[in-house]
Structure 1
Amino acid sequence: MKLTRIARYVDLLFCLVIMPLVITLLPVDRWIVHNTAFLLTLVVYIYGLYFIYRRTRPAHLFLQHKYLRIVLLMLLLVGVTELLTHFPMHESSPALDARQLAARQNMRTQTIWFFFLVVTGFSLAIELTFELFRQMLFRQELEAEKNKAELALYKAQINPHFLFNTLNTLYALTLSKSDRAESAFVKFSNILHYMYAQADREMIPLVDEWEYIRQYVDLQRLRLNSHTQVELIEEIDDDRAAVPPMLFITFVENAFKYGISSETDCSIRIGLHLHKSMLDFTTENAVMRRREEAVPGIGIANCRKRLQLLLPGRFDLQTSEREGLYRVRLTIRLHEE
């Protein structure tokens, strides 16, 4: 909001102060009498050129590596400028010979290109400055939102219920001298290590994130009876793909929180598909219990906000409930087009 206000002040400064002062360097008194149409066209051209630059934001296009758009834009503007140099001029003074007329035409041509360079340089300098400020503000907002999201995720995942249930299960396995006890301790240790060691990174390998989900699901299975069936489906065609850390855990935890029963048959399905940089993550669970209305649901909202900051315009997050089944589908285009 503050940056938008500053941009308006800069636009007003350009339109009401800088350009009027520069235009007064021209022979305005003579042109307004003999070449009124050209003078008005030149003024419209100057202001139009400035606002075209402000509208198209070439600095932003450059940072997005959209070089073709920049080249096409510059070719178009150079073409319009060249056409303006051929604007028909009318000199009424009979005392001017052909050489003087050619000199004046040359001066007008130089004037047009001078304004083109001045407006282009000023616009690009201003836009580059604004773009740097936008990037700084974006980074600050991203860091603040990331810290908020991580704190919320820590509260959601490392909560007393999860720890209590898991430790109770581990204790029971130890007392019964089960062969699964050692493996369960390893998985639990890996989960804790992952959450504290990886969550501060912006992007991590997808295979690592999925392994974290797999170990989390394995631990949850230890406390479930035969009434709840859990199905994991995985299809990944690129082991080098990367995603934001702890991206899927909110949906997985919700599936176990609201979709399990010790008395009624139910199932949880978790799927991950990656094909040609298009990621498709889904969860589906029977609704065995509902969230209390007084308790705000912040997990999915935080996920959506993180995605908007990290992958703007490259994801789609849909949730639905139908016929007693709650579904989540998250699709992400991992690479920009």
Structure 2
Amino acid sequence: MPGCFQYIPGMKQPVLPWVQVGVWVMVYLLLLVYTIQKWSDWPYGFTYTTVGVVFYIMTVYLHANWLLPRYFYRGRRSFYALFAGLLLVGLVALRMWVEYELLFTRMNRHPFFGWNFAHAAFDAITILLAFLFGFLLRVAINYVDLLQREERLRSRQTASELALLKSQVQPHFLFNTLNNIYALAVARSEQTAEVVARLSDIMRYFVDEAPKDRVPLSSEMTFIRNYLELEQIRLRYPLPVQVCINVVNPAPAIPPMLLIPFVENVFKHGIDKTRPDNEAEIRLTYQEERLDFLVRNKVFQTSEGPWRGLANLQRRLELVYPGRFEMRVFQEKEYFYASLAISRP
């Protein structure tokens, strides 16, 4: 629904709650040890520490979770100053009264906790320090919240980019295959029905497997075999392809359509359709948590420019396997090689 909204930092629940609980427990214990050592009196030290820490917590979170989000971050600075002053005065007065009733009247311990200037000054200073700590806490909460928002946005962006990169493979492949079927249909070839059946298998892969994050390695290789058979049909001279697979079970799951760009580039840029001496080799190895994939094909002077279509794959690998893959493309004598190695796929 169209509309406008204003983002107020920190309106969510405070982050890292257990860290805050740990800090307050530590503050309480340190004050408790100090007061007991100072007055050598467990009940008195316990009462004084409990009252003080309760008021510190009230000051910190009223400032961090109420005043700052409701007034300061919404630009209502005059109301913020007014209510901040009233809050400080009210907390100091309330704490003085509680300490007077508990520590001066009932325990009759020390005249410091009577209604006097020294008592008021001490409570005002400590409450003010807690008030400032509330501001620092809100800044920390906003910063962590911002980091979490950025991480969520990066994750969504990465997922969207992966989906886009993966989707770019399918239309391109389908376009080429439909062109092949059209050519066969025009020629009234007996292979038309077989090609349609192969295309049906591939479409099933697109629908059932391609939307997934990971697919079995065997499914990907079956898809590649179907692709090879489809491409062979449109060639004037059959392309001898040697496929060698050495996979140690259990085989890993990989992103769908991750390996097909290597094979597709053989037919796009790595063969001369007018010559009968084309050849290619595909090797897949998985052992010791390392996947190696190699594609080799002959190079002819008439080749359009081998392996031009792998930039998309490079970007996809950077998103899925950052720092865990190595892709090499090189020529050695009359052959082009494209290899991919993935650690812990």
**Residue from 303, 327, 332 that aligns with 1:290:** 303
**Residue from 261, 272, 278 that aligns with 2:290:** 278
Corresponding residue number in structure 2 for 1:220: 231
Offset of residue 236 of structure 1 = 1.4
Offset of residue 301 of structure 1 = 1.2
Query: For 2:252 and 2:215, how far apart are their aligned partners in 1?
Result: 8
Offset of residue 127 of structure 1 = 8.2
Query: For 1:138 and 1:255, how far apart are their aligned partners in 2?
Result: 34
Contact persistence 1:207–1:239 (CA under 8 A)? no
**Residue from 184, 199, 207 that aligns with 1:188:** 199
Contact persistence 1:170–1:185 (CA under 8 A)? no
List per-residue Cα deviations over 1:116-167 (Å, max 9, x = no partner). xxxxx999978864653353133122123113312321243122x4322245
Matches within 5 A, 1:247-326: 247-261=258-272, 262-288=274-300, 289-291=302-304, 297=308, 299-326=309-336
Query: For 2:271 and 2:327, how far apart are their aligned partners in 1?
Result: 23
Corresponding residue number in structure 2 for 1:143: 159
List per-residue Cα deviations over 1:234-253 (Å, max 9, x = no partner). 11112441111110111111
List per-residue Cα deviations over 1:16-55 (Å, max 9, x = no partner). xxxxxxxxxxxxxxxxxxxxxxxxxxxxxxxxxxxxxxxx
Contact persistence 2:291–2:342 (CA under 8 A)? yes
TM-score normalised by L of structure 1:
0.54
Structure 2: segments with no counterpart, 5+ residues: 1-136
Contact persistence 2:286–2:292 (CA under 8 A)? yes
Contact persistence 1:206–1:240 (CA under 8 A)? yes
TM-score normalised by L of structure 2:
0.52
**Residue from 151, 163, 178 that aligns with 1:163:** 178
Query: For 2:197 and 2:173, how far apart are their aligned partners in 1?
Result: 18
Offset of residue 304 of structure 1 = 1.2
Query: For 1:253 and 1:319, how far apart are their aligned partners in 2?
Result: 15
Q: CA RMSD in A?
A: 3.5
Matches within 5 A, 1:240-251: 240-251=251-262
Structure with bigger gyration radius? 2
Query: For 2:297 and 2:219, how far apart are their aligned partners in 1?
Result: 24
Secondary structure in 2 aligned to 1:144? Answer: helix
1:197–1:224 CA distance, 2 compared to 1 (3 A): same
Contact persistence 1:259–1:267 (CA under 8 A)? no
Structure 1: segments with no counterpart, 5+ residues: 1-120
**Residue from 320, 330, 333 that aligns with 2:340:** 330
- For these two proteins, the number of residue pairs brought into alignment is 211
1:315–1:123 CA distance, 2 compared to 1 (3 A): farther
1:233–1:131 CA distance, 2 compared to 1 (3 A): farther
Contact persistence 2:324–2:344 (CA under 8 A)? yes
Structure 2: which amino acid aligns with 1:271?
A: R
Larger RCO (alpha carbons 8 Å, 6+ apart): 1
Query: For 2:218 and 2:154, how far apart are their aligned partners in 1?
Result: 28
Offset of residue 320 of structure 1 = 0.7
Structure 2: which amino acid aligns with 1:137?
A: L
Secondary structure in 1 aligned to 2:240? Answer: strand
Identity of aligned residues (%): 26
Secondary structure in 1 aligned to 2:279? Answer: strand
Contact persistence 1:191–1:215 (CA under 8 A)? yes
Contact persistence 1:205–1:239 (CA under 8 A)? no
Query: For 1:312 and 1:224, how far apart are their aligned partners in 2?
Result: 37
1:140–1:244 CA distance, 2 compared to 1 (3 A): same
Secondary structure in 2 aligned to 1:202? Answer: coil
Offset of residue 208 of structure 1 = 0.7
Offset of residue 281 of structure 1 = 0.5
Query: For 1:164 and 1:221, how far apart are their aligned partners in 2?
Result: 14
